[in-house]
Structure 1
């Protein structure tokens, strides 16, 4: 973790994305200590929302609108708490994010919700560190977490811990890890190998492949041999369905990897796009996903309110606003301090319960699913609190 309100941060390698029912809070009682400004809880709470309006990329404008919509939906659900929300355009640019973050603080903001991308969140955090204002970023990049920057996005570490722990609990105690040789792939690999070690399972080998069709084809025999030679009971793939998962899963079958002997485990969701569920190679595979119940409720509610489905990460804006409202309702003037934000009970978000950790990362309750007959089957429901299994 970086020192509190550090002026420098690590180089960035990945940026945001995760997804988040219109639920609000979890109870919390925390001491009035920790970094962050004091607020007047009897007045509207000044909150700044930093989103990528102004970008040349039309998709980012749509993302910005979806995040703002979700934040305003959450505001309507706050019981007895008023928020004075001001929206600032980052254009998806770190320099502009830093500029508008300072502007937001001059305008009286006591906490910043956003930005989306890791570099922008890092820049905003540094820009307002001297003002002791906390930043709840929509990023899932743990490298920018720490000091006054928290990440709301679901992280590889969180997903890996959940799905690896479940696989180990089902007797899949010897695991091989494979990953694309990219910056993101390496982060995924490290999350999985750390999760294997912390779960008590055994790492039966780690092997990378070039992130291309030829790279997968050239590496698959070596991966299959490693699995068979080491008697691996699970093969964890730190890749996604837009990358190597479809081809790799099929070629593993063709190279003699028996999914009834060696279960495939995904670090990312294998139900997006839905057509992935039809692939022969992923049948029987495991992956983690947000609690389907509240996620579906949020999506339906958003659709009803705005006439279109939410962006996949729009729920993060709802979660951040709901957490702010819950803390103001219970903690008064110290609601937006680091100590309050990191209280142990956590919050009920639109994809299940979550909480911030002291190092700026987060824990999110996830379900574990298995693909059975081309359908998603929940084999381990998401915990409803942090006293439940899966954490």
Structure 2
């Protein structure tokens, strides 16, 4: 039995009940039974071992929009559970967790950060929403407390705020550079309107240019019923025209996610698009279990962390909490692991910029990650191919960073 678990005699609980009870006890007491000495390479998963010398607890805070019944609150609750699972598995009695809800508002985030710092937090994990990050950041900076935020908005990064999230610009760069390495030169794109599309479109154009390719046609579509039909028709006509003029488009970039792809699939099928001639490309938004149910996307490529570690995490999460985790649960899990890996340093030297931006970075469920001084993260991503049942890795993710400057995709965001 793991240290710190005390069961009444005569009770034989299930593994799930033991884990849930232990996690509840640990979090309620603001202490963990997870963690160990920092690995020499600063991996998120530290080496096993025990502290011989008693030391004061290290306090971490996580801020998430936990109230409500909507999708955002559901994701936030799963991230909280991911953080709790990391705490339990690392078994470090010297680390404490402070959980705060910001209510999904900027005002709430500022108050949550103030409370957490007042309770002794040395690092803040979160918030999730960009407005909340922007509001909490001045409080954290004034107290010299760094933040590992879960927002994807690069505008809130920097000056002590590091983005733990997946950045769309790097996903685009990864999939386009891989497609180019496979001989793809002429690209079409069908991109959603809105903030996500506003980030993806310039990233796509820049990535194609860097790869020596040509963006032949780029169409945007509104997030309304049947809103993509006319733009999609123009893209399909351009692809057909390229074939007729012997200047074929050989890749179609579709960065939509689970809410958009089911509408695009029938359009692709009706157009008669030949997947052997036109390679479908996506982003990390393609990383959902049912994508292969639509034959239109089978054979498509998209970037993602290597799925092997994620699968192990998902199984442990499901056994503990009784439900499959959404993708962001592992980001919170890794954020806690990263913080624990740095927690054994002396007070004042744990969560410094030098430690957080070390060139070798950190590794966890979602692979390797490192931070630049400007707060942007760089991740090592694999390329996956959609299959009828699941997806398969066709280009593995790197397991270590080369001793060079951050990627061109990361630099592109800063300019």
Q: Please state which band the TM-score falls in when normalised by the shorter chain.
A: 0.7 to 0.9
Tell me if structure 2 keeps the 8 A contact 1:352–1:384: yes
Task: Tell me which residue corresponds to 1:128.
Answer: 140
Q: TM-score, normalised by structure 2?
A: 0.77
Matched, 1:255 2:271: yes
Instruction: Choose which of 195, 198, 223 in structure 1 pairs with 2:235.
Output: 223
Superposed CA RMSD:
2.8
Aligned-residue offset at 1:331: 7.7
Q: Deviations over 1:46-85 (max 9, x none)?
A: 21111223x2336555444432332233234447672122
Distance 1:270 1:72, change over 3 A: closer
Classify the secondary structure of the residue corresponding to 2:400.
coil
CA distance in 1 between counterparts of 2:150 and 2:321 reads: 21
Distance 1:312 1:268, change over 3 A: closer
Tell me if structure 1 keeps the 8 A contact 2:338–2:362: yes
CA distance in 2 between counterparts of 1:304 and 1:374 reads: 22
Aligned-residue offset at 1:332: 6.7
Tell me if structure 2 keeps the 8 A contact 1:224–1:256: no
CA distance in 1 between counterparts of 2:227 and 2:61 reads: 45
Matched, 1:366 2:381: yes
Give the alignment of 1:75-154 within 5 angstroms: 75-78=87-90, 82-154=94-166
Q: Deviations over 1:163-198 (max 9, x none)?
A: 111111111122222212222222222222232233
CA distance in 2 between counterparts of 1:187 and 1:59 reads: 22
Matched, 1:239 2:251: no
Matched, 1:198 2:210: yes
Tell me if structure 1 keeps the 8 A contact 2:35–2:90: no
Moved more, 322-331 or 126-135: 322-331
CA distance in 2 between counterparts of 1:231 and 1:305 reads: 51
Distance 1:227 1:318, change over 3 A: same
Tell me if structure 1 keeps the 8 A contact 2:305–2:397: yes
CA distance in 2 between counterparts of 1:253 and 1:72 reads: 44
Unaligned runs of 5+ residues in structure 2 are 1-33, 43-53, 408-415
Instruction: Choose which of 340, 344, 349 in structure 1 pairs with 2:364.
Output: 349
Aligned-residue offset at 1:101: 0.6
Moved more, 95-104 or 246-255: 246-255
Give the alignment of 1:1-391 within 5 angstroms: 27-28=40-41, 42-53=55-66, 55-57=67-69, 60-78=72-90, 82-228=94-240, 229=242, 230-243=247-260, 245-274=261-290, 276-329=291-344, 333-373=348-388, 375-387=390-402
Classify the secondary structure of the residue corresponding to 2:199.
helix
CA distance in 2 between counterparts of 1:112 and 1:360 reads: 14
Task: Tell me which residue corresponds to 2:9.
Answer: none
Moved more, 192-201 or 316-325: 192-201
Choose between structure 1 and 2 for higher RCO, CA contacts under 8 A separated by at least 6 residues. Answer: 1
The structure whose Rg is larger is 2
Distance 1:180 1:68, change over 3 A: closer
Unaligned runs of 5+ residues in structure 1 are 1-21, 30-40
Aligned-residue offset at 1:266: 0.8
CA distance in 2 between counterparts of 1:171 and 1:332 reads: 52
Classify the secondary structure of the residue corresponding to 1:87.
strand
Distance 1:194 1:300, change over 3 A: same
Q: Deviations over 1:73-102 (max 9, x none)?
A: 323444767212211121111101111212
Tell me if structure 2 keeps the 8 A contact 1:102–1:127: yes
Alignment coverage as a number of residue pairs = 355
